[in-house]
Amino acid sequence: MTSPSAPNPALPPHRKVHVDLGPRAYDVLIGRGLINGIDILLKERRLLSTPVVIADTNVQALHYNQLGAAIQKAGTKEIESAILYPIGPGESSKTLENYTIALSYLAQHRVPRSGVLFALGGGVIGDLAGFVAATYLRGIAFVQVPTTLLAMVDSSVGGKTGVNLPEGKNLVGAFHQPKLVLADLETLETLPPREFAAGMAEVIKYGAIKDKALFDRVSTRVNPDDTDLDEIVEKCVAIKARIVETDEFETKGQRALLNFGHTIGHAIENATGYKTYLHGEAISIGMRAAAWLSVWHAGLPEADARRIESALTANALPITLKPEVDRAAILAALGNDKKVAADGRNRWVLLKSLGEATSGHELPAELVQKAVDILA
């Protein structure tokens, strides 16, 4: 369910995707200048009690004043300490330590069960803040305000929250749906080009698994000022919303389709200590490996695998590993992925064709080894 126009004339024109999860349903709004109208949205949804904002230090400097002022227009109490915990940017900050400090901050400030937590930033902030919201007082409301392309199209939608352990990515977490997702495309104007490119990895993924027309559009360079960016983001969010609606808790196999490229991508992040690649960059490399695994095991035409490589490079994404990355460490990290089955084997998402993915594939170790080897 999408809408290209604003139902409330007080808001800027925007697109809306409704995520239909019964009592946990919510809207994803996509447009430019939406943060300034968040007071209207909070009043409509009665999210008016004790707001707390979590952001990393980069986003705090860029966007907190605007968000804080807009929240205050809703008539909520003044925010004295906007940043719950000024964590550094990047995946290495998504830790149990930062999570527990955040919980203590809420407790010290006596945030009540009716409080509302705002996740302002990229996927790291959304995952961490969402996990805090899911577990503080057994669950409080939270609002996603993603400021990266990757978070807008992927991590802010679907209710997955959590943090990493040294043994693997996202091994601790909970499902906790937001009350609202507000994707203000104007925030992307402050996003470094490398971060925007990282978000394009997830955009390309959506086209590859579900929408060939979308893949065709994004197989050439996409830029933050493109006039159809709102439509591109909407299509990605709608794909994820429909999958989440059918498999909210990842028990039926449908949601696994979203993991195309992520099995090796997560292993790359783990093997490099989350310091060498942005998440989208690791997923880009992982998608190249998954594309060739699809050729060797699922019948994807070689030409389509090369089209995926071309789309990634056209959007300034890496498709090979840096020389210092240990391929043996990547193979070892595959065993710690949270999606490993009870028998200790990975289940792979592969493509039959562009726009058609299937999940649950078991692959021989030598084929996985071959896929990692081609990344050198």
* 167: exposed, middle or buried (Cβ count in 10 Å: 0-12, 13-18, 19+): exposed
Residues in contact with 61: Cβ distance below 8 Å, sequence separation at least 6, in sequence order:
none
- What integer pLDDT is reported at residue 50 of this predicted model? 87
b/e per residue, 172-206, with b = 16+ CB within 10 A?
Answer: bbebbbbbbbbbbbbbbeebeeebbbbbbbbbbbb
**pLDDT (0 to 100) of residue 342:** 43
Two structure tokens written together for 177: 């749906």
The predicted structure's pLDDT at residue 78: 53
Which pLDDT does position 49 carry in this prediction?
Answer: 86
For residue 91, the enclosing domain spans 2-191
| Residues 73 and 169 both lie in one domain | yes
Residues 186 and 210 in one domain: no
**pLDDT for res 344:** 55
Does residue 109 sit in the same domain as residue 161?
yes
Stretch 108-124: mean pLDDT, rounded? 93
In tens, the pLDDT along 267-303 reads 999 999 889 999 999 999 999 999 999 999 999 999 9
Asked whether residue 227 is domain-assigned, the answer is: no
Percent helix, percent strand, percent coil in the chain, to nearest 5: 50, 15, 35
> What total number of domains does the chain contain?
2
Q: What is the mean pLDDT of the chain?
A: 92
Strand pairing partners for 254?
none
Same domain, 89 and 138: yes
Whether residue 126 is found in the same domain as residue 210: no
pLDDT in tens, 211-220: 999 999 999 9
Predicted confidence (pLDDT) at residue 101 exceeds the cutoff of 70: yes
Q: Supply the CATH number for residue 335's domain.
A: 1.20.1090.10
Same domain, residue pair 187 and 321: no
Measured over the CA atoms of residue 119, residue 280, residue 35 and residue 248, the dihedral's sign is: negative
